[in-house]
Amino acid sequence: MSLSVQQVRMDNKHPTVKLSVHPSRALMDEAFVILVQNVPPGSQVTLHALHRCEDGHRWEACAHYVADSSGNINAADDCSVGGSYFGVEPMGLLWSLKPVPGSKPGLRMRKKNVQTPMVVTISVFKGHHTEAFMDQVPLASWVVERWYMAPGVRRIPITEQQLTGTLFLPPGPGPFPGLLDLWGGGGQLMEYRSALLASHGIASLALDYLTSKITTETGKMVDNQYFETAYRVLQQHPQVLGSRIAMLGLSLGTVFTLKMAVYSPVVKLRCAVCISGSHIQPVSGGPQQMMDLFSRNFEKISFSEQDEVIWRGLLLPIPSDPSLKVDVGRLQCPLLLVVGEDDQNWCSHESATDMKQMMERAGNDQLLTLLSYPETGHLIEPPYTPHTPSSMFRGAGVGQKMRVLWGGKTPEHSAAQEDSWRKIVTFLRRNLYGGSDPHAIHLSHL
């Protein structure tokens, strides 16, 4: 037995410290309560979280608390006075996770395998510490699992008609409302948001439109019909209600969400959600034309003091030419726009303002809900996802990785993720589950 364990056993002649985290198995967007009991009243303790991600990197966070007169700490009610976050932050230990010192620079945490949980070890240490946790023995530890998929959710790879995607179906007979889920310029097939939406009752199809199998094999980007094909596949699925389909896009994904919502004769959306994106695009073009637009504006990129790439200027100034931005005045379904005011990657804030003005002029602004968050960056992810202010990023089809600045200050960005997700799920449920169907046939017409 090591000396430090012996020391702890001697110290523990006193009441045994109890740490509980409830629930110990939760969905990624569910909150937990961390309780510490039986520490000496008024004593200083540190709460610590440790996670080893799929790539093998270690992430940690810590917070400093002072026990109350009963010897208890409740992270949902009590104030952190130091560490990775300050104040009353029930979920701070998750969203303030950062790579441990000495890690490879520019990491971003993204779960690839959604069928297994994210495992986090929560510990309580005597005293206030900010480092060298591996060299100390905690007073107590607990393990929590964070899941993207609820039990019973079905994961179905979609490869028909040259699509590359994954469909997540909620449990039950259905039919379920559907959603087409688009990520941004990094490409790959990211499943975690769709898995989470299916866990909330929405049949969600995560679609890879930049690095799909057909693009990887032929070297050619897909065109706009690819999105229409994906919509049709969703619409015709026996467990999806074809008249209640939404689209959700982040970053580059918003470009095609808005394009389909306004211009496609095939895609009829019940509602749309656009996060950190823009309506600025060659309206008649597809992914290749969008990439060409970025290339043409290459001189508009700038750099931070730490040499991080800032891309927010690429699409500015907002054009007045109608062929260069989606005419959102023609939108016929509710639209939820989510933007971070410190977005350093896209001009999402300016775009949102322009879209609002266009809709006000056209008289359809009652369809618009705009959520704008100060000190919030580009990567507005599901709640409690660690904030990434900048990371190594390779755009699809681009040769090298570069350090890209996304923006945002961790506490504000994390609060925005929590608030926006709740509102996104409510917006989707209200529009997809509720309300009357505009295409309903009234019985009196028969």
Partner 1 sequence: CLRYAVLIGDALQQILASSIRPAPLLTATPVRTLVDEQACIKASFLPSNHPVTVCARMRSDEGDLWQSFAHYNTNSRGTFDLNSDLSVGGSYSGCEPMGLFWSMQPAPGERDGLRLRKKCVESPYTVHISLLEGHVSPNQEPVKELAAVTAERWYMAPGVKRQEIRQNGLVGTLFIPPGPGPFPAMLDMWGMGGGLPEYRSSLFASRGYASFCLAYVGHKDLPGPPNTINVRDSYFQAAFQFLQDHSHIAADKVGIVGLSYGCYLTFHTATLAGVKPACLIGINGPVGSSREILRVNSLLSLKHILCILQILMKPLVLMQLEEITCPLMYIVGEDDLSVLSIENADLIEETLRAAGKSHLFTRLSYPGAGHLIEPPYSPMSRATFIFFSCSVMTVWGGHPAPHAAAQEDAWKKMLEFMELNLRR
- Site residues for partner 1 per CB under 8 A: 1, 5, 8-9, 12, 15-16, 18-20, 22-27, 30, 37-38, 119, 121, 123, 137-145, 147, 150-152, 171-177, 199, 201, 241, 243-244, 429, 432-434, 437, 439-441, 443, 446
Tell me how far, at minimum, the Cβ of 28 lies from partner 1, in Å: 12
Q: Where is 60: in which H helix or E strand?
A: strand 58-66
Number of other residues whose CB lies within 10 A of the CB of residue 322: 10
Please identify, using beta-carbon distances, which residue of 151 and 219 lies nearer to partner 1: 151
Marked catalytic residue, from 84, 199, 212, 251: 251
Tell me how far, at minimum, the Cβ of 150 lies from partner 1, in Å: 5
**Residue 211 and residue 188 in contact, taking contact as beta carbons nearer than 8 Å:** yes
Residue 2, strand partner residues = none
Q: Which amino acid is at 282?
A: P
Helix axes 252-263, 287-296, angle to 10 degrees: 130
The first and second tokens of residue 296, run together, are 């043409």
**What sign does the CA torsion over 262, 268, 273, 275 have?**
negative
Q: How far from the centroid of its chain's Cα atoms is residue 103's Cα?
A: 23
Distance between CA atoms of 399 and 178, rounded to whole angstroms?
35
The first and second tokens of residue 340, run together, are 């971070």
Q: Which amino acid is at 4?
A: S
**Residue 194 annotated as catalytic:** no
Please identify, using beta-carbon distances, which residue of 47 and 359 lies nearer to partner 1: 47
Tell me how far, at minimum, the Cβ of 264 lies from partner 1, in Å: 22
Marked catalytic residue, from 279, 378, 387, 413: 378
- Whether omega before 175 lies within 30 degrees of 0, making that bond cis, reads yes
The first and second tokens of residue 139, run together, are 């007073």
**Residue 222 and residue 207 in contact, taking contact as beta carbons nearer than 8 Å:** no
Antiparallel, parallel or unpaired: β 402-405 and 390-393: antiparallel
For residue 141, give the DSSP letter: E
For residue 325, give the DSSP letter: B
Tell me how far, at minimum, the Cβ of 135 lies from partner 1, in Å: 13
CB neighbour class for 324 (10 Å; exposed up to 12, middle 13-18, buried from 19)? middle
Q: How many CA atoms lie within 13 A of 390 on its CB side?
A: 16
**Residue 78 annotated as catalytic:** no
The first and second tokens of residue 19, run together, are 């740490």
Tell me how far, at minimum, the Cβ of 18 lies from partner 1, in Å: 5
Q: What is the dihedral of CA 175, 254, 117, 47, to 10 degrees?
A: -130
**Residue 251 annotated as catalytic:** yes
Tell me how far, at minimum, the Cβ of 35 lies from partner 1, in Å: 11
Tell me how far, at minimum, the Cβ of 414 lies from partner 1, in Å: 21
Distance between CA atoms of 49 and 34, rounded to whole angstroms?
11
Marked catalytic residue, from 78, 208, 342, 343: 343
Q: Please give the positions annotated as active site.
A: 251, 343, 378
